[in-house]
Amino acid sequence: MISYLAQRLLLMIPTFIGITLIGFLIMRLAPGDPAELRAAGGLGAAAGAGISLAKRGAVDEAMAQWRAQYGLDKPLHVQYLVWLENLFTLKFGDSFKDSQPVWGKLTERLPVTIKLNLWSILIVYLVAIPLGIYSATHANSLGDQITTVLAFGLFAVPLVWAATMAIVFICGGDFYYLFPPGGIESLDFSNQWPLWKKIQDHAWHLFLPVVLLSYSGFAALSRYMRSSVLEVLGQDYVQVARAKGLQEKIVIFKHVLRNSLIPQITLLADLLPALIGGSVIIETIFSIPGLGQLGFESVLARDYPTVLALFTVTAVLTLIGILLSDLLLAVVDPRIAFGRRQQ
């Protein structure tokens, strides 16, 4: 187990360097100079071209000064090493957009995104696992076929469409006002409210974003769960359990479930990046002040330090997620740490 852990950790080093290098190079080599953008007013990617030649002379000096301040005048590899060093000390520098520390911006918005994603992951697993078990134990029945079709249909529903339909039809447009069109709490939200009212208000605001973030996840996961349960059901030890007269319930929930849950653990690692991508869309549409919205706004404003910090933080979090799910897998299934990977 220890040697497996050491091996996994060692292999993560090149991966980590690769991630940071990719992020750094993309941001630095991209056309469009953040100094120029800042000089032109800084907001909006399209604003960059709008500076007249006459004004340039005066602006150039300020820009050079500003480049020096942020270290943009040094060679690329020096910039990378400096940035990497700062990364380990969690110094992400100041935002180009409003000169606020990036780390502060991240920590301010992180809780919202984590809340959104944790609820989504919870719902994904809570829906997908029972659905998968049902589908597998009733394989090829009418119920199974209906869930198959539904899962496939849901998986193909574009997130942007689902969100737009929700905004248009049930978020107070010309049709129904069942859910708020944005934000995470009501405008008149106050800490004096009784607890249940606070919870109610949060739930009301988070319901749609969470459902929208999770539906494609549980559609996909329920299919994986189905095939995983089916595979375990076909194994000999299940037949033994049945043959010795165990109730079907016990066979399924005690013998089959455990082994069929194992592959679902690894899927968590695949789910995370998808959720982060979904957060960008959902937080932008529902104006939720989380990391996704911050990312989208920073990308448009070419706020390099913020984008780079976000990129790295999410990638490293995902990497840790992959590592954890690998370790969890090794804990529940000792064969893995023992005999390397399958194949």
Distance CA 284, CA 291 (A): 10
Tell me: does residue 18 bind other proteins (CB under 8 A): yes
Give Cα separations from 250 to 108, 127, 136, 204, 256 (angstroms). Answer: 47, 21, 16, 38, 9
CB of 169 to other proteins, least distance (A): 7
CB of 191 to other proteins, least distance (A): 31
Yes or no: say if 284 and 295 are a contact pair by the CB < 8 Å rule. no
Q: Which residues between 167 and 226 bind other proteins (CB under 8 A)?
A: 167-169, 171, 173-175, 181
Nearer to other proteins, 65 or 145 (CB): 145
Binds other proteins by CB under 8 A, chosen from 3, 52, 89, 140: 140
Yes or no: say if 256 and 233 are a contact pair by the CB < 8 Å rule. yes
Distance CA 237, CA 244 (A): 11
Tell me: does residue 44 bind other proteins (CB under 8 A): no
What SS3 state is found at 193?
Answer: coil
Residue the block writes with tokens 């496939």: 152
Nearer to other proteins, 70 or 189 (CB): 70
Strand partners, 177: 171
Tell me: does residue 314 bind other proteins (CB under 8 A): yes
Nearer to other proteins, 128 or 315 (CB): 315
Yes or no: say if 312 and 87 are a contact pair by the CB < 8 Å rule. yes
Stretch that binds other proteins, among 129-137, 240-248, 294-302, 328-336 (CB under 8 A): 294-302
Other Cβ atoms within 10 Å of 338 Cβ, number: 10
CB of 172 to other proteins, least distance (A): 8
Binds other proteins by CB under 8 A, chosen from 42, 101, 182, 273: 273
Yes or no: say if 298 and 310 are a contact pair by the CB < 8 Å rule. yes
For residue 134, the one-letter residue type is Y
Nearer to other proteins, 45 or 203 (CB): 45
Half-sphere exposure of 161 (CA within 13 A, CB side): 7
Binds other proteins by CB under 8 A, chosen from 11, 64, 178, 324: 11
Distance CA 94, CA 23 (A): 17
Nearer to other proteins, 169 or 338 (CB): 169
Tell me: does residue 165 bind other proteins (CB under 8 A): yes
Yes or no: say if 201 and 193 are a contact pair by the CB < 8 Å rule. yes
Tell me: does residue 228 bind other proteins (CB under 8 A): no
Tell me: does residue 330 bind other proteins (CB under 8 A): no
Give Cα separations from 244 to 61, 68, 188, 231 (angstroms). Answer: 85, 77, 63, 21
Binds other proteins by CB under 8 A, chosen from 70, 80, 207, 296: 296
Nearest to 36 by CA among 90, 96, 86: 96
CB of 30 to other proteins, least distance (A): 4
CB of 153 to other proteins, least distance (A): 6
Sites of contact with other proteins (CB under 8 A): 11, 14-15, 18-19, 22-23, 26-27, 30-32, 45, 140, 152-153, 155-165, 167-169, 171, 173-175, 181, 269-270, 273-274, 276-278, 280-281, 284-285, 295-296, 299-300, 302, 307, 310-311, 314-316, 318-319, 322, 343
